[in-house]
Amino acid sequence: MGKVQGGMKCVKYLLFVFNFIFWLSGSLVLAVGLWLRFDPDTVKLLGGDGAPETFFIAVYILIGAGGLMMLVGFFGCFGAVRESQCLLASFFACLLIIFGAEIAAGVFGFINKEQIVEEVQKFYSSSTAEGSSSNSTAIATIYHTVLNCCGGSTPNPALCPELPEETKDCLTAITDFFNEKLHIIGYVGIGIAGVMIIGMIFSMVLCCAIRNSREVI
């Protein structure tokens, strides 16, 4: 009896600590998502009329996951303290749903990685095409300034004479810029998925310990 109670308390405190860390992780994910959404460089590149929104879809998924993680982490702490099987089972179900969403977001990002880059490259190319409007010219200027690039497949000093001649082409710069952002989303997703697996294990162990202790009583 004493060993069961002692083991249950140990798991309960571990789950409480985990949920606090999980809540902090949710805050971090939310902060990363908001940073990616409101990063000045990204907003400048994708803030124009007709700009592709696929990248922001992945960011919105990240923001939603972060907010949900914070909420679930709070209820997980409450369930651990109250030793409630119902709350712990709900916590496990929520973690499972978030885990599935993370996998779906990762698959979405992996499948659409090249598409996102290509859409942005096409958006830039259309702004530098002959006969482009003044608005398109302004968009191209923003890309040249933010990415420190010039022209399409090869740098074109005529499009941006204010930049040095050794400046790289914008298609390559766009690829590098958005690959870096998408890698951040991928790494965050993988890290959180690992944390959630640990949380599901802890919640089920504590739930079983609570049930066994009540059966003993």
The per-residue pLDDT for range 108-133, each reduced to its tens digit, is: 767 778 888 899 999 888 887 765 66
Token pair of 158 as six digits: 């005529």
Alpha-carbon gap, residue 12 to 216, rounded angstroms:
18
Total domains in the chain come to 1
Mean predicted lDDT score pLDDT of the chain: 77
Lowest mean pLDDT among 50-59, 120-129, 159-168: 159-168
Give pTM, 2 decimals.
Answer: 0.74
Does the pLDDT at position 187 exceed 70?
Answer: yes
- CA-derived radius of gyration, the chain: 24
Run of H or E residues at 198 = helix 170-216
Please state the rounded mean pLDDT for residues 164-179: 84
Write the pLDDT tens digit of every residue in 55-77.
888 788 888 888 888 887 777 77
Q: What residue numbers bound the domain in which 59 lies?
A: 2-216
Higher-scoring residue by pLDDT: 51, 203? 51
Q: pLDDT above 70 covers what percent of the chain?
A: 76
